[in-house]
């Protein structure tokens, strides 16, 4: 089973393309989304480095419940620090950068059925072991799994009012990450042909959840978006009607096609 993937992004209205501070990356089995905190400096580099490393060398987080994550971050934090042009920075930019960059993170990996440990009961039940996905998250970048025109899973935010609170963020500054370890969320689920996964940063996630709560099936609107122009039109319409908060936007759609009857 292979996914079809589409990705779209736009900066906040009023900001330039260079000022877009979200990041996303994906391969066939791994997807990552990160939202660099606008209030911090050099956050876009931090968000970029997190998603890239997740695709190239995912942490063993699903085996050890987060223990390895701290070690996984260390080289990224060192790299971020090395890339800041400290000597050239004016006093305020230096002071700001010393506090570090901050970002949300959502990472998903899709496993294949064959790689799951074989269970003898599967033979008796005459069924295959399911395909399993696993995800972990810090902050309010979200995934939604849609099956048969219904939201099957929403992670890590489950209620729409959670979007207006200040999320915990991963910092490039090791000393600022103490609150992170306890708030790292992990989950897993199964997937099958026909399932669609949406990965998004907070503004679009909030929109999605509100529309979904109102039985408006927002996934159909997002599935209709085929080009960057479609996305830009959709965004400007929703922003004008105050349905979509003015923020950086990232949307990755992962559609598991195949024999959808199975």
Which is nearer to other proteins, 185 or 245 (by Cβ)?
Answer: 245
Task: Give the shortest CB-91-to-other proteins separation in angstroms.
Answer: 6
Task: Give the shortest CB-194-to-other proteins separation in angstroms.
Answer: 39
Between CA 200 and CA 24 the distance in angstroms is 9
Task: Using CB under 8 A, list all residues that contact other proteins.
Answer: 12, 14-15, 38-39, 41-42, 85, 88-93, 95-96, 174-175, 246
Which is nearer to other proteins, 6 or 12 (by Cβ)?
Answer: 12
Which is nearer to other proteins, 63 or 165 (by Cβ)?
Answer: 165
Between CA 146 and CA 182 the distance in angstroms is 29
Task: Give the shortest CB-175-to-other proteins separation in angstroms.
Answer: 4
Which is nearer to other proteins, 195 or 248 (by Cβ)?
Answer: 248
**Burial profile 136-160: b = 16 or more Cβ within 10 angstroms, e = fewer:** bbbbbbbbbbbeeeebebbbbbeeb
Task: Give the shortest CB-93-to-other proteins separation in angstroms.
Answer: 5
């Amino acid at each position: 089973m292979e996914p079809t993937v589409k990705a779209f992004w736009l900066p906040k209205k009023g900001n330039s393309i260079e000022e877009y501070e979200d990041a996303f990356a994906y391969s066939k089995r791994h997807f990552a989304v990160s939202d660099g905190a606008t209030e911090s400096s050099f956050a876009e580099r931090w968000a970029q480095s997190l998603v890239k490393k997740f695709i190239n060398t995912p942490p063993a987080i699903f085996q050890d419940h987060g223990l390895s994550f701290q070690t996984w971050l260390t080289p990224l934090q060192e790299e971020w620090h090395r890339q800041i042009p400290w000597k050239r920075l004016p006093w305020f930019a230096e002071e700001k950068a010393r506090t570090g960059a901050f970002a949300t993170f959502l990472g998903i990996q899709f496993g294949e059925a064959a790689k799951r440990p074989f269970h003898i009961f599967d033979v008796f039940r005459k069924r295959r072991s399911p395909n399993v996905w696993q995800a972990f998250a810090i902050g309010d970048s979200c995934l939604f799994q849609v099956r048969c025109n219904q939201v099957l899973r929403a992670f890590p935010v489950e209620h729409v009012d959670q979007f207006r609170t200040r999320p915990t963020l991963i910092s490039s500054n090791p000393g600022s990450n103490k609150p992170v370890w306890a708030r790292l969320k992990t989950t897993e689920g199964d997937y099958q042909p026909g399932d669609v996964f949406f990965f998004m940063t907070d503004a679009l996630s909030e929109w999605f959840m509100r529309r979904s709560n109102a039985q408006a099936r927002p996934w159909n609107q997002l599935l209709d978006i085929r080009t960057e122009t479609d996305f830009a039109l959709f965004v400007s319409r929703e922003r004008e009607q105050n349905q979509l908060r003015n923020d950086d936007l990232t949307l990755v759609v992962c559609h598991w096609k195949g024999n959808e009857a199975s």
